[in-house]
């Protein structure tokens, strides 16, 4: 399948005005994500090369550089979430999503989390 690369994607093109106002209020807060990292497995080029390659391609497709911190968490739901803000942002995919979704479905699920990252929606789940 051929993908269209969205160079320079700006979250303002799809965010609601009230979301932007709320996120601006939250930008000054420092979030602690250390405890969360302890319960998750970090996805790296060495630890999970195939998954990392897929996530790296999604990052490239959406013109996200550098790629955010990626983790998996054991739960058999086909879910994921984004938490934190800026350099402290974590994107977590549940093990069920990785195991049960096809490659294309996992890409789609990952795009949704990347959109949360672009929009800084990770603050909402703190």
pLDDT tens per residue across span 73-92: 889 889 998 887 777 778 89
pLDDT at residue 49 is higher than 60: yes
**How many angstroms separate the CA atoms of 47 and 8, rounded?**
30
Give the pTM. Answer: 0.66
Confidence band for 52, pLDDT divided at 50, 70 and 90: very high
């Amino acid at each position: 399948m051929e993908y269209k690369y969205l160079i320079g994607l700006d979250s303002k093109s799809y965010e609601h005005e009230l979301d932007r106002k709320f996120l601006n209020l939250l930008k000054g807060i420092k979030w602690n994500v250390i405890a969360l990292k302890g319960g998750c497995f970090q996805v790296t080029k060495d630890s999970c090369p195939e998954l990392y390659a897929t996530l790296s391609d999604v990052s490239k497709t959406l013109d996200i550089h550098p790629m955010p911190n990626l983790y998996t968490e054991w739960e058999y739901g086909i879910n994921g979430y984004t938490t934190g803000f800026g350099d402290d942002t974590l994107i977590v995919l549940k093990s069920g999503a990785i195991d049960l979704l096809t490659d294309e479905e996992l890409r789609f699920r990952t795009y949704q989390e990347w959109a949360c990252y672009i929009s800084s929606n990770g603050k909402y789940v703190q």
